Amino acid sequence: MAGVKEKAAEGQGRLMPLLVAAVCLGLLGLPVAVWFDLSALTEQMLRQQANETGRLINDVRGFYATEVVDRVLKADRPVSVTHDFRTTPGAIPIPATLSIELGRRISDRDGAMRYRFVSDLPFRNREAQTLDTFQRGALDALRAAHPEARKPVVEVTGSIFDRQVRIASPIVMGPVCVACHNSHPLSPKNDWAVGDVRGIQEIAIRQPIEANIFAFKFLLAYLVLAASAGLAVILLQGRQARLIRAMNRELATANDFLASISLKIAKYLPPQIYRRIFSGEKDVVVQTERKKLTIFFSDIKDFTASTERLQPEELTALLNEYFTEMAAIAERHGGTIDKFIGDAMLVFFGDPETLGVKGDARACLAMAVEMQRRLEQLNAAWRRRGIEIPFRARMGINTGYCNVGNFGSDDRMDYTIIGAEANLAARLQMIAEPGGIMLSFETYAQVRDVVRATPQPPIRMKGISREIVPYAVEGLAGDLAADATVISEHAAGLDLFIDLGALDDAAAERARRRLAEALQALDARGARPSAA
């Protein structure tokens, strides 16, 4: 366990610097990387725009030099402006023709920019143009819009690998254009008005995404570092998790071991003391206190003779069964089982839990009565199992002050009571009848409202200067009397056991009939003359 803890602490010590570094990297590295990448991307875009603009200017200058200036210088007649300038000597193109020709030159090159002059109403001698969906939609939208509300129509398309932006701007008819088109014989329309949209000029710019991937090299580097740090943290966390699981397994094993040990130890301690020790309410130190307790002592009559009649295995089984039943009754009534002494049993009431002096005495008396009843039931069961003379117990109860607590040394101690009052309880059971309960006057005074008892001749006991008047319990009264439901008598030729609480109405009726038959048989036996 110690090795696992050391490994876990070592792993935690390695993990913390990485976590701090990862947080710092996240807080500082990301904005720095984005700033550098934005600067590089801006520079790249400016360079690209400058290159495209320079190419566009070169195309315009080249067209102007060859198709305008050169034709003017070579003209042998006055220069004219016409759409069919190539077939007309000394002619130069009109603006619409200029736009169409420039569009061809610009678009023929393998560049990112495309330019087209598009109209659905070209002159009749020109090749008809095929408009795609975007161009047709843009033309309809611009013509339908109010002149002051016309704005370029934009479309963005592409895939995950490239993007394309198309911008369509209106070609608006001016006064000169209107006059020309309305009078020209090849014009498809002769009712143009100033402000009408004749067509559109479309600029399309395509940009492959992969061209800008490495513009984010700093961000990529940041992500690689962050991923590496995250992977390292995950690996360390996995190692920590494995160590923690190993610790949990060891702890579970240790807990199971301790639980099994505690359950075994609990069998050597009174339940009340066991619970208080393991809950932390009671310290395990040599310490006693003086309390008024009710002490119970029981002993099996003629136990030595039983040891001679029974085999050791049978005797052990019977004694263990007897103590198991008596201990369960004691615990049920709140008694603290001090010890088992051979066939004797010492129980006291009033520590560590108490019902008050009167309540403790009544609980002890109720326990003793239930023990005697249960013992009668056990005797009946043992007889059915072949035990000829089962156990009969004598019980004594006394109430008085005793020292109670932990006695012994710092290394070995016992939770018990000492005092003359405990010895008196043992003396009282010695003078009790088998199956009977003997009370001291101090106990009788606490329970006299629930018990019928008769005083016995006084006795003297070493350590106690006064005479002790014992009281033999004859029966119960009050609340406890309702529980007197067992009738038992055993002798040679007699085996009687009736548990009234266990009989239903039908069983009670059968018992009445059988008892009546038994009485008749006894009466007949008494009336029969004796043999001469």
Output the DSSP codes for 358-371.
HHHHHHHHHHHHHH
**CB atoms closer than 10 angstroms to residue 142:** 22
Low-confidence ranges of the chain (pLDDT < 50): 4, 479-480, 484, 531-532
pTM above 0.85, yes or no: no
Rounded CA-CA distance 264/278 in Å is 13
Write b or e for each residue in 366-401: b if 16 or more Cβ atoms lie within 10 A of its Cβ, otherwise e. Answer: bbbbbbbbbbbebbbebeeeebeebbbbbbbbbbbe
pLDDT digits (tens, 9 = 90+) for 118-163: 888 887 777 777 888 888 898 888 888 888 888 898 988 877 777 8
Rounded CA-CA distance 375/364 in Å is 16
Measured distance between the N- and C-terminal CA atoms of the chain, rounded to whole angstroms: 92
Contacts of 503 (CB under 8 A, 6+ apart): 511
Residue 310 burial by Cβ neighbours in a 10 Å radius (0-12, 13-18, 19+): middle
The pLDDT of residue 491 is 63
- The radius of gyration of the chain's CA atoms, rounded to the nearest angstrom, is 57
The pLDDT of residue 490 is 59
Cα dist. 1→13, 78, 249, 376 in Å? Answer: 18, 108, 10, 54
Cα dist. 209→212, 215, 278, 414 in Å? Answer: 6, 10, 70, 86
- Output the six-digit token pair for 510: 């059968």
The pLDDT of residue 71 is 76
Helix (H/G/I), strand (E/B), else coil: 199? strand
The pLDDT of residue 444 is 92
